[in-house]
Amino acid sequence: MKLDSMYQDVILDHYKNPHGRGLRPGDAEVHHTNPTCGDEITLRVRLDGETIEDVSYEGQGCSISQASASVLNELLVGKDVAEARRIQETFLELMQSKGRIEPDDAMEEVLEDAVAFAGVSKYPARVKCALLSWMAWKDATAQVLSERKTA
Amino acid sequence: MTIQLPGLLDTDAIRKDFPILDRLVHDGKKLVYLDNAATSQKPRQVLDVLAEHYERHNANVHRGVHVLAEEATALYEGARDKIAAFVNAPSRDEVIFTKNASESLNLVANMLAWADEPYRVDHDTEIVITEMEHHSNIVPWQLLAQRSGAKLKWFGLTDDGRLDLSNIEEIITEKTKVVSFVLVSNILGTVNPVEAIVRRAQEVGALVVVDASQAAPHMPLDVQALQADFVAFTGHKMCGPDGIGVLWGRQELLEDLPPFLGGGEMIETVSMHSSTYAPAPHKFEAGTPPIAQAVGLGAAVDYLTSIGMENIARHEHAITEYAIQRLQEVPDLRIIGPTTAEDRGAAVSFTLGDIHPHDVGQVLDEQGIAVRVGHHCARPVCLRYGIPATTRASFYLYSTPAEVDALVEGLEYVRNFFG
């Protein structure tokens, strides 16, 4: 059934048992919303030099948006910023593919659990849900780095 | 088994008028369309008139001397007559065509922004709305308040989804210039007590604006009985095409108040230094109007009238009563809004345990059931009841008890899917 391509077990698992949920100290905090459906996330990023030490978040929203934040936490914490950006860009490319990208081994290696969202890209109304936390992370990280520059 | 409820219309016959209701979706599932508060489907009688208009009568209005221009003008102005009769307007010249209810409400706000005394809204005056407004009846007034320095006030809501009018004398005061409120809430379904609000507004000399977007499609609408000064609604929710809305306004107000949009059609004479304006309604209809859409709305009004607005209201009341009863059988389901069908329209919002409405809507869609999910352009209502969003099922003259049953079964499936 088509629905199963969106609601993969991996996604439902992350939704029911989210990783790293809850707000912890960070270097920058952002609040992003999805105005069409009311999904919200508050997200903090803490960096140690170039390494992402923590991504903490609190929010409300659908299974897709919540699972996506959990996958992000699992995937990005411990990576350095440049690598995390590559992952974020790959995820964005997959989500904007309208279901046309069939993730290959190379993509799977980069995205790990996040490849489970490939099916979501077929549902235009839900792509924004999947991207919410990733856009918030990108924004928060940019804030930390720009504050560092001006400091 | 076919369920019989008192007051139901012959939906077998009515559904034949709506070709889209025969559509199969998602590999052969029957469409169950329960998103009527967002937009209604269109009967063949309206679709045919739209096609015929473009095939036979298309021309710009009010400016040609050729036969098509005359036909198009007669059809456009004929639609105005039909809508005037539909809302029992004292004069056809009180019916202004806009593109939707949002534009109608923005038009009123802007008339008042630029008006002279005694209508002018400025600092030291107050605007009153309610917490259950659609964003289209909040934001235009916020803009007016910010730009004019006026104070924006509102009625709160009771726990059971009704307006809290207990402090009406503190909310509507001598400083109030305009009170704008929704007749039927698009998210809660509540039908509001017009009389009490109008009486208080008249006491203090405030203008009354009624957003009838969710009323005009579903029940008899009589602008004289409402005693409002302005009434706004939109065509696409009442079997008409999109791109056409209506603002009804009392004639002497339309004569006194200034135009908002300037352009062709709304003028009497123009020089490089100044212009004079056409009388209402043309004063408020700058530029080429939505001609075919107005004609289509006229056809929609004919269609609704042939069935009878009283009959439609009775049908929807029966369906809503049945839906409220069946929905309350679903475990963990909480109706947001009145839990009886009294003083209630045919939109029913609810939450389903912790399952986010987006997920509810997606899994229902897979079964062919179309509902709306989100905050329904009424985010303050969600904040008031401490919920991020709702799922909303909304009914119309072609909705059946079997579709309510399909929804309830669909929700059971949703619960199992995320259970």
Q: Is B96 on the interface with A (CB under 8 A)?
A: no
Does B388 sit within 8 Å of A60, measured CB to CB? yes
Q: Phi, psi at residue B322, to the nearest 5°? A: -65, -45
List the one residue out of B336, B339, B317, B306 whose CA is nearest residue B396: B317
Quote the ipTM score. 0.86
User: How near does any CA of chain A get to the CA of B286, in Å?
Assistant: 31
**How close B290 comes to chain A (CA, Å)?**
27
Which pLDDT does position B1 carry in this prediction? Answer: 56
Size of interface A-B (CB pairs under 8 A): 48
Query: Which residue of chain B has the CA closest to A39?
Result: B388
State the pLDDT at residue A38: 75
Would you list the domain boundaries of chain B? 11-30+308-418, 47-306
- Reported as a single tens digit per residue, the pLDDT across B18-34 is 999 999 999 899 999 99
List the one residue out of B296, B239, B287 whose CA is nearest residue B266. B287
Between A6, A36, A38, which is nearest B382 by CB? A38
Assigned token pair, A54: 């923590």
The pTM of the full predicted model, rounded to 2 decimals, is 0.94
Q: What confidence tens digit (pLDDT) does each residue in B328-386 have?
A: 999 999 999 999 999 999 999 999 999 999 999 999 999 999 999 998 899 999 999 99
C-beta neighbour count of A101 within 10 angstroms: 16
pLDDT, position B107 = 98
Options 3.20.190.10, 3.40.50.720, 3.30.70.141, 3.90.1150.10; CATH of B11-30+308-418: 3.90.1150.10
Q: What is residue A31's three-state secondary structure? A: strand
- Fold topology of A2-150: Sufe protein. Chain: A (3.90.1010)
Across the interface, whether the CB atoms of A61 and B388 are under 8 A apart is answered: yes
Residue A33 to residue A39: CA distance in whole angstroms: 6
Q: d(Cα B370, Cα B35) in Å, to the nearest integer?
A: 6
> Is A62 within 8 Å of B359 when comparing Cβ atoms?
yes
The size of chain A, in residues, is 151
How close does chain B come to A1, measured CA to CA in Å? 9
A interface residues, B as partner, C-beta within 8 Å: 1-3, 6-7, 12, 36-40, 60-66, 123, 126, 129
Any idea which fold B47-306 has? Aspartate Aminotransferase; domain 2 (3.40.640)
Q: Is B239 a catalytic residue?
A: no
* Local confidence pLDDT in tens for the 419 residues of chain B: 577 888 999 999 999 999 999 999 998 999 999 999 999 999 999 999 999 999 999 999 988 889 999 999 999 999 999 999 999 999 999 999 999 999 999 999 999 999 999 999 999 999 999 999 999 999 999 999 999 999 999 999 999 999 999 999 999 999 999 999 999 999 999 999 999 999 999 999 999 999 999 999 999 999 999 999 999 999 999 999 999 999 999 999 999 999 999 999 899 999 999 999 999 999 999 999 999 999 999 999 999 999 999 999 999 999 999 999 999 999 999 999 999 999 999 999 999 999 999 999 999 999 999 999 998 899 999 999 999 899 999 999 999 999 999 999 999 999 999 87
Q: Which residues of A touch B373 (CB under 8 A)?
A: 37
Give 3-state DSSP helix, strand, coil % of chain A, rounded to 5: 60, 20, 25
Instruction: Report yes or no: B92 at the A interface, CB cutoff 8 Å.
Output: no
Is the pLDDT score of A67 beyond 70? yes
